[in-house]
């Protein structure tokens, strides 16, 4: 199999901001053991840029689909980016949303910009209006809005995790394996949608998605399952 794992809301609990999350010691150990057991066919599939994933899981540098499919890194390779950055003027406009009120966190990825309102849920409508004003002021910018858990991300269209996973599964050591994907949010639906064509299995976290093979109650349950699986692989290899 190939293990494909979303990060926020799946491997780790969602924190007050993207940089305020806790990894712990057991999770990296489980990931290392499972990567070894699958001959490197374990990848993170995230909306975060791959550089952020590396910082979060340092010193690990795992294969990854980053930026909702905008970035791809296979084992031993450099990160490839498939989309052009948003214009500086549009990014400045979007980033000005931080002035709408306290609790809004801006995450500028270059090729996309995420507006987090976990600490200010009452600001969602104002953020949507702010984004709409930005689209109207930059009609030549090809963009779309990807909603997530208390976040609105402005990104290039035709970029999604599903296409990123499809490309990843063409590359060694993932090619020819059965993908097993775990995700938690609407941003993961594009991966769930292609698992059938790839002969894979899908599991969600905390919410039901039609057609999947199972559901975990929380990221803690995902981490516990990975720890058990890693321990079982160690027993088999001893």
Cis peptide bond upstream of 228, omega within 30: no
Coil, helix or strand at residue 4: strand
Active site residues: 6
Cis peptide bond upstream of 156, omega within 30: no
The C-alpha R_g of the chain, in whole angstroms, comes to 18
Q: Which residues contact 11 (CB under 8 A, 6 or more apart)?
A: 5, 27, 44, 219, 222, 223
The gap from C-alpha 185 to its chain's centroid, in whole angstroms, comes to 9
Distance of alpha carbon 80 from alpha carbon 82, whole angstroms: 6
The gap from C-alpha 22 to its chain's centroid, in whole angstroms, comes to 16
DSSP state of 189: H
Q: In 140-183, which ranges are continuous DSSP H helix?
A: 161-168
Distance of alpha carbon 142 from alpha carbon 86, whole angstroms: 9
* Nearest to 74, CA basis, from 44, 49, 51: 44
Region of residue 94 (left: phi > 0; alpha: psi -120 to 50; beta: else): alpha
């Amino acid at each position: 199999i190939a293990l494909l794992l979303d990060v926020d809301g799946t491997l780790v609990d969602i924190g007050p901001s993207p940089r305020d999350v806790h990894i712990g010691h057991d999770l990296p150990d489980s990931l290392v053991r499972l990567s070894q057991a699958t001959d490197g066919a374990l990848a993170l599939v995230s909306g975060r840029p791959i550089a952020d994933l590396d910082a979060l899981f340092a010193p690990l540098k795992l294969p990854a689909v980053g930026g909702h499919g905008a970035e791809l890194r296979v084992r031993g390779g450099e990160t490839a980016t498939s989309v052009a950055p948003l214009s500086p003027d549009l990014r400045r406009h979007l980033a000005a949303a931080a002035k709408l009120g306290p609790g809004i966190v801006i995450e500028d990825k270059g090729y996309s910009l995420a507006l987090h309102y976990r600490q200010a849920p009452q600001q969602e409508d104002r953020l949507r209006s702010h984004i709409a004003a930005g689209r109207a002021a930059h009609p030549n910018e090809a963009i779309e809005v990807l909603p997530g858990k208390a976040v609105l991300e402005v990104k290039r269209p035709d970029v999604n995790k599903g296409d990123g996973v499809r490309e990843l599964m063409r590359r060694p050591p993932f090619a020819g394996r059965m993908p097993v994907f775990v995700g938690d949010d609407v941003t993961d639906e594009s991966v769930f949608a292609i698992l059938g064509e790839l002969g894979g299995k899908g599991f969600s976290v905390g919410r039901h998605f039609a057609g999947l093979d199972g559901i975990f109650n929380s990221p803690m349950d995902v981490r516990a399952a990975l720890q058990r699986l890693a321990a079982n692989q160690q027993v088999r290899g001893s």
